[in-house]
A and B are shown apart, each in its own frame.
Chain A
């Protein structure tokens, strides 16, 4: 799968995260989180693992995290990726 267009998933509500994606040559992941100091590493790991499982190697991901737990981060990555890969 490859990111073909801009897409968005999730929200800025508490316990959720908003992820925006757009096409890019390389894989870039930018994360902003209210729990960065306590869970920064785990958040990045969850996102990278999910992208790896989906075979994504390029695309610009911007994650604004409002304290989502891992299952939610993974789900939002899956949704936004599929949305970004769909034909226009």
Chain B
């Protein structure tokens, strides 16, 4: 059947997953519940330290068919997921579902576990590299469930997504399970994406390469959540964790787009005291942030908070007094890790607080402006950051649709084309963020404003910003690149894209 934005969702998928089709960004609310969690009491005199992953698995009564969760703060430097699965495979377990908030290049060993039947299902928010390619080629029988950050927390907290064991990659942990992400050889900063796992999993196992005596000096995930602590040699590769390589773009086209986006924010009247702002960590997003910083300086604006994955640029803005606070679910570089450790106005928050739609209010609801990217955007403003133009998975919503739904103004910044591929297209390959939540699209060829936002459109035109109809942008792109051929589906579904509220916004077929 067709959902509210005209995407075909196979009925058997809805039935099998017991899901509803997408009904609009705010159109669906299940009964809001928090899951009851059964757990083992830790009595006085009992320790939590175990010697190995296998010992922990035995103690946790791990068995075939269970679900295990991982968080992605160590990103492409993560050793924990591979380490745990290797042990699970060695012990002969089968039919395991991996609930990982992100899957990266470094998780290639997962492929062998899928082929051997150890892993039979994947749920994730973001997926790149060999696993994403293999999933796109149909390696799994069960479709992968792709969620947003907020959607994952919603699913965990409501009990819809059951975690049997959560594995926490702990840069520093004490022997009683208090965890800090800002110290240790694998320091990654915020552990925001692991909070729901730690609170709602049946068992919680922390792996650390920096075991300290009780208590750690700064507690992120606390001892009341953690069942076992394991000391390992290393939880991650430093170079892959906080690569710190993202820099403001130097590409003149990118800078042009970024400067225009900053002017849209200014012209729209958003740059006032109390301004709140989120950008991604891509080089184009950072360029927008840097133009916004200049405007905030000029106008002597003091913003209320910066949000998101935090980068050096936001830390500088905090220190300069341009923001009163940073809310941080993930640090992208060493400087943000350091800032989180030392600056009390740089606050670690859970991804649920950041983005879960079914709470008493997520931080995205307080956002004025968010800057987001797009792999494709269609003439209804629906955005794809999940699949490439060849139809293969190469990303995922992450917080994309969460921030878009919460923020007063959502700006998508992108080149109109990447080499020969138009970014503005007639129909996106996959929708992860509905067009109703996108306010403005900024490209080097012009700015398109969502027709629902007439006022802003007028303001931008009045200030001589080059406003064009999004269909005109598409026409320009197709004129230059030619009209792209349609991808041919093989008929089977390799992934299901859940909107943050749990409805199905799209499915990803296997393409030829």
Does A associate with B in a complex? yes
Q: Is A32 engaged at the interface, CB distance under 8 Å to the other chain?
A: no
Q: Is A5 engaged at the interface, CB distance under 8 Å to the other chain?
A: no
- Per the bound structure, the CA–CA distance linking A7 and B485 in Å amounts to 31
A interface residue numbers (CB < 8 A to B): 14-15, 34-42, 66-70
Task: A37-B389, A37-B391, A38-B487 given; name 14 further pairs at CB < 8 Å.
Answer: A14-B418, A34-B419, A35-B419, A35-B420, A35-B421, A36-B390, A38-B389, A38-B485, A39-B481, A40-B485, A66-B419, A67-B421, A68-B419, A69-B420
Q: Report B341-384 residues with CB < 8 Å from chain A CB.
A: none
Q: Is B480 engaged at the interface, CB distance under 8 Å to the other chain?
A: yes
Q: Which residue of B lies closest to A35 (CB)?
A: B420
- A32 shortest CB reach to chain B, Å: 14
- B474 shortest CB reach to chain A, Å: 15
Determine if B420 and A37 form an interchain contact, defined as CB atoms under 8 angstroms apart: no
Q: Is B482 engaged at the interface, CB distance under 8 Å to the other chain?
A: yes
A-B contact pairs, 14 of them (CB 8 A): A14-B418, A35-B389, A35-B421, A35-B484, A38-B389, A38-B390, A38-B421, A38-B487, A39-B420, A39-B482, A42-B482, A67-B418, A67-B420, A70-B482
Q: Which residue of B lies closest to A67 (CB)?
A: B419
- B512 shortest CB reach to chain A, Å: 8
Q: Which residue of A lies closest to B390 (CB)?
A: A37
Q: Which residue of A lies closest to B419 (CB)?
A: A67
Contacts of A70 in B (CB 8 A): 482
- Per the bound structure, the CA–CA distance linking A15 and B481 in Å amounts to 11
Contacts of A37 in B (CB 8 A): 389-391, 485, 487, 511-512
Contacts of A66 in B (CB 8 A): 419
B interface residue numbers (CB < 8 A to A): 389-391, 418-421, 480-482, 484-485, 487, 511-512
- A16 shortest CB reach to chain B, Å: 9
Contacts of A36 in B (CB 8 A): 390
- A28 shortest CB reach to chain B, Å: 23
- B140 shortest CB reach to chain A, Å: 22
Determine if A39 and B419 form an interchain contact, defined as CB atoms under 8 angstroms apart: no
- Per the bound structure, the CA–CA distance linking A75 and B232 in Å amounts to 58
Determine if A15 and B485 form an interchain contact, defined as CB atoms under 8 angstroms apart: no
- Per the bound structure, the CA–CA distance linking A40 and B390 in Å amounts to 12
- Per the bound structure, the CA–CA distance linking A61 and B421 in Å amounts to 24
Q: Which residue of B lies closest to A40 (CB)?
A: B485
Determine if A69 and B421 form an interchain contact, defined as CB atoms under 8 angstroms apart: no
Contacts of B418 in A (CB 8 A): 14, 67
- Per the bound structure, the CA–CA distance linking A67 and B482 in Å amounts to 12
- Per the bound structure, the CA–CA distance linking A42 and B484 in Å amounts to 9
Scoring B391, B485, B511 by chain A CB atoms within 10 A of each residue's CB, the highest score goes to: B485
Scoring B420, B421, B482 by chain A CB atoms within 10 A of each residue's CB, the highest score goes to: B420
Contacts of B421 in A (CB 8 A): 35, 38, 67
Determine if A69 and B482 form an interchain contact, defined as CB atoms under 8 angstroms apart: yes
- Per the bound structure, the CA–CA distance linking A15 and B415 in Å amounts to 13
Q: Which residue of B lies closest to A37 (CB)?
A: B390
**Given contact pairs A67-B420, A67-B421, A68-B420, A39 touches B485 in the complex (Cβ within 8 A):** yes
Determine if B419 and A38 form an interchain contact, defined as CB atoms under 8 angstroms apart: no
Contacts of B485 in A (CB 8 A): 37-42
Scoring A36, A40, A42, A66 by chain B CB atoms within 10 A of each residue's CB, the highest score goes to: A42
- Per the bound structure, the CA–CA distance linking A66 and B420 in Å amounts to 8
- Per the bound structure, the CA–CA distance linking A38 and B481 in Å amounts to 10
- Per the bound structure, the CA–CA distance linking A40 and B512 in Å amounts to 14
Q: Which residue of B lies closest to A38 (CB)?
A: B484
Q: Which residue of A lies closest to B481 (CB)?
A: A69
Contacts of B512 in A (CB 8 A): 37
Contacts of A41 in B (CB 8 A): 485
Contacts of A15 in B (CB 8 A): 419-420
- Per the bound structure, the CA–CA distance linking A15 and B419 in Å amounts to 5
5 closest Cβ pairs, A-B complex: A67-B419, A67-B420, A38-B484, A15-B419, A42-B482
Q: Which residue of B lies closest to A66 (CB)?
A: B419
Q: Which residue of A lies closest to B483 (CB)?
A: A42
Contacts of B481 in A (CB 8 A): 39, 69
Scoring B419, B484, B485 by chain A CB atoms within 10 A of each residue's CB, the highest score goes to: B419
Contacts of A69 in B (CB 8 A): 420, 480-482
- A81 shortest CB reach to chain B, Å: 22
Q: Which residue of A lies closest to B512 (CB)?
A: A37
Q: Which residue of B lies closest to A14 (CB)?
A: B419
- Per the bound structure, the CA–CA distance linking A42 and B487 in Å amounts to 15
Contacts of A67 in B (CB 8 A): 418-421
- Per the bound structure, the CA–CA distance linking A34 and B388 in Å amounts to 11
Determine if A39 and B484 form an interchain contact, defined as CB atoms under 8 angstroms apart: yes
- A10 shortest CB reach to chain B, Å: 13
Q: Which residue of B lies closest to A72 (CB)?
A: B420
- A45 shortest CB reach to chain B, Å: 10
Q: Which residue of B lies closest to A13 (CB)?
A: B419
Scoring A38, A67, A68, A69 by chain B CB atoms within 10 A of each residue's CB, the highest score goes to: A38
Contacts of A34 in B (CB 8 A): 419
- Per the bound structure, the CA–CA distance linking A33 and B511 in Å amounts to 17
- B338 shortest CB reach to chain A, Å: 35
- Per the bound structure, the CA–CA distance linking A76 and B51 in Å amounts to 63
- B444 shortest CB reach to chain A, Å: 14
- A14 shortest CB reach to chain B, Å: 5
Scoring B480, B481, B511, B512 by chain A CB atoms within 10 A of each residue's CB, the highest score goes to: B481
- B391 shortest CB reach to chain A, Å: 7
